[in-house]
């Protein structure tokens, strides 16, 4: 089976600074990868590299048979990358509905389906981005990525700084998007147990290199190893 996403010996960073070294991975269609590691190990840089926001120093990136490394960020979005960065990057000068309709592309994910998944957004269609809570902004950022109808969804710490009730809502939504709807995804998160439960595979980075790769359930079942790799298992 041909992988949806393939990275081979990818090195990347910012300017002349190399953060990632010889990263290789593959993701099948419908598969979710939990991308883990302590702070500063290169997780966000890897997500940014896939989205086209870093300088790639070597290696190849292929999405559904298309080489990405020479494509700009907007061209990668058109090719099927849906990116939810830590900064969320919603249009704060537009209301919720305008944020969704401004970027929507034809496909099964429509603004209406986003509202069904996130009723809070449906109740705030006319609210400007600046009038939303942090959790609502994150829901909107996920919704904006979905209405692009991407092949691969990149989520960079989607639960960071959110209230527990919002975390539960977002986790349920992410599980539906990936597990139930079959969206391929890479999720960077500081809550490994929560993300591993809804992921198929797991990868741990340290100092910009891969130090562990396995099935997600295998890593979740080994708390001592998780603690050794991340220092957060207990």
Strands (E), the chain: 5-14, 17-27, 32-36, 55-63, 66-67, 81-84, 152-156, 184-188, 201-206, 209-215
Q: Work out the average pLDDT over 5-19.
A: 97
Of 186, 229, 182, 179, whose CA–CA distance to 204 is shortest? 229
Mean pLDDT over 83-88 rounds to 91
Q: What is the pTM of this model?
A: 0.94
Domain boundaries, the chain: 5-230
For residue range 33-54, list pLDDT tens digits in order.
Answer: 999 999 999 999 999 999 999 9
Tell whether domain 5-230 is in CATH 3.40.50.300.
Answer: yes
- Read off the tokens for 181: 């709807």
């Amino acid at each position: 089976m041909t992988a949806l996403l393939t990275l081979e010996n990818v090195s990347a960073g910012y300017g002349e600074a190399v953060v990632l070294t010889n990263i290789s991975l593959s993701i099948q269609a419908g598969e979710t990868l939990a991308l883990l590691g302590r702070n500063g190990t290169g997780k966000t840089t890897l997500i940014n590299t896939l989205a086209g926001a870093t300088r790639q120093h070597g290696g190849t990136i292929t999405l559904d048979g298309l080489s990405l490394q020479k494509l700009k960020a907007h061209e990668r979005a058109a090719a099927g990358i849906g990116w939810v960065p830590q900064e969320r990057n919603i249009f704060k000068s537009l209301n919720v509905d305008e944020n969704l309709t401004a970027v929507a592309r034809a496909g099964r994910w429509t603004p209406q389906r986003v509202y069904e998944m996130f009723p809070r957004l449906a109740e705030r269609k006319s609210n400007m981005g600046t009038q939303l809570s942090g959790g609502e902004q994150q829901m909107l950022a996920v919704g904006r990525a979905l209405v692009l109808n991407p092949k691969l969804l990149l989520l960079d710490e989607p639960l960071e700084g959110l209230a527990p009730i919002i975390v539960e809502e977002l986790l349920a939504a992410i599980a539906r998007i990936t597990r139930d709807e079959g969206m391929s995804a890479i999720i960077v998160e500081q809550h490994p147990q929560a993300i591993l439960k809804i992921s198929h595979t797991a990868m741990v980075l340290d100092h910009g290199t891969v130090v562990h790769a396995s099935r997600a359930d295998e890593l979740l079942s080994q708390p001592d190893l998780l603690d050794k790799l991340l220092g957060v298992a207990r």
